[in-house]
Amino acid sequence: MQEKQAKEIANHTLEAIGGKENISTAFHCVTRLRFVLKDESKVDLDKIKRIPGTIGFQKSGDQYQVIIGPEVGTVFDQFNIENDVKNERDDNSTEGAVKKKITLKTIGSRILDAMVGSITPALPAIICAGMIKMILMILGPAMIGLLSMESGTYQVLNFVGDAGFYFLPVFLGYTSAKKFSTNPIIGMLMGSVLIAPSFMDSVANGTALTIFRLPVTPVNYSSTVIPIILIVWIMSYVEKFFDTYIPNSFKMIFVPVLTVLVMIPLAFVVLGPIGSIFGNYISAFLLWTHQVFGPLGIGLIAAVFALLIVTGMHHAINMAVLVTMASTGYDEVVFVAVAPVVIAIAAAALAFALKSKQLENRSLGFSSFVLQVIGGIAEPTLYGIMIPYVRPFIAEAIGAFCGAVYMGFMHVKFYALTGSNIFILAGFIHEDSTNFVHAVIGCTIAFVVTFVLVWVIGFKEKEQETFE
């Protein structure tokens, strides 16, 4: 995307959401601009839905999302608002802000927003580690045998793969601190403390520890997600308290020291164990779902997953997968359902491209297909094809359901996060080669069923709206 086009999208977006002064929080994920606004009455929904160069618009709770695609970072850079928004938030400026009623829906939305904002920036490290583990599985003695487990190359790369998950609390300590507007280095320190070698040894040996005469719960926090996010969230308020009352000349030393001294007992005695217990319940719930509903349960997740992407709820499920994989080493529910969805979405885009008579729609279909297969970007297909034309959405849901049910009956397991594109299949590679074979068959079923259904039931082409 050229800088001029990115600037135009940024200007149109600012105009549609009420300008810089109406922004409370602004950031972006892989494909979307995300805004939390002060006064929602200033938003022009009709205008924001027709911004040229965007794929679509979604409102999730308090958050306004403009779908751009993989070049969202280029557009976000054109806003030049990050410092303005941060300074305004730090100055506690609430002029013009509209107080919103607190409901269960808004609370859930804020929790989801906090999780997404904390986890999404850390995904590159997690995916990288998963890909390296997958490569070692292929080249190692269990498959090709090119590398032995005793070779230096194998051992060093194995360190890299393990580190991406083991040090997850450290990564999330940084990203969570950025999300909650607190000191990211202290956030990393808190994550490091949770997996400090001496503490890990005491947990492994069953050594009883106390801090300020309070008992420390022996929990292994390596590869965990929820405890550190919860800890940093509370830390943001503790740091703000000390920053408010400590004189400027003493802040550099005493704000971080006092913050850590308060947070360490809270982390080890209260917050860490609570987060760990909550994570264990999430993992247990997913396993329970599989045990009760079996392959049909996996199929139902696959059938509705594209809808979850549209609403933004898929991030919560992805977070649950991280928790499950950290405790069991694999996932046999969610990503077994997600893989057929990824392939079915691509099939819907390709069938749409080949079936369309309008040149513009063919271009949309082929570009969406490539973005999904190579880039793992589903939004162009979702917002440009599946939602406007409906029938491809139904076809995708049926195709994904069929593929996921097959994989469920074959007891397929997912072992490594490898992306949301065609490489998602690599996550099924394991010593048991039949696991990968059944994954490929299941995804092929999803592709064929979706493609055939889109081709047979068709869709009524229509002209695309233009920006005014």
- What digits encode the pLDDT tens for the residues 163-194? 887 888 999 999 999 989 899 999 999 999 99
pLDDT band at 394 (very low <50, low <70, confident <90, very high): very high
Higher-scoring residue by pLDDT: 437, 39: 437
pLDDT at 468: 35
pLDDT at 239: 95
pLDDT at 87: 41
Give the Cα separation of 189 and 260 in Å (integer).
Answer: 9
Please tell me whether the overall predicted TM-score, pTM, comes out greater than 0.85 for this model: no
CB atoms within 10 A of CB 341: 32
pLDDT higher than 50, residue 45:
yes
Q: What is the mean pLDDT of the chain?
A: 82
Q: Per residue in 123-133, pLDDT tens?
A: 778 767 777 87
pLDDT band at 98 (very low <50, low <70, confident <90, very high): very low
CATH 3.30.1360.60 occupies which residues in the chain?
Answer: 3-100
pLDDT at 85: 46
Q: What is the mean pLDDT of residues 341-349?
A: 95
pLDDT higher than 50, residue 114:
yes
pLDDT at 28: 76
pLDDT higher than 80, residue 158:
yes
Q: Which residue has the tokens 């995804």?
A: 443
Q: Work out the percent of the chain whose per-residue pLDDT is above 70.
A: 83
pLDDT at 188: 95
Give the Cα separation of 466 and 7 in Å (integer).
Answer: 18
Q: What is the mean pLDDT of residues 268-274?
A: 89
pLDDT higher than 60, residue 324:
yes
| Cα distances (angstroms) measured from residue 211 to each of 205, 215, 228, 261 | 18, 7, 19, 10
pLDDT higher than 60, residue 460:
yes
Q: What is the mean pLDDT of residues 48-65?
A: 78
pLDDT band at 39 (very low <50, low <70, confident <90, very high): confident
CATH class of the domain comprising 3-100:
alpha beta
pLDDT at 7: 87
pLDDT higher than 90, residue 89:
no
Residues recognised as catalytic? 29
Q: What is the mean pLDDT of residues 368-378?
A: 80
pLDDT band at 343 (very low <50, low <70, confident <90, very high): very high
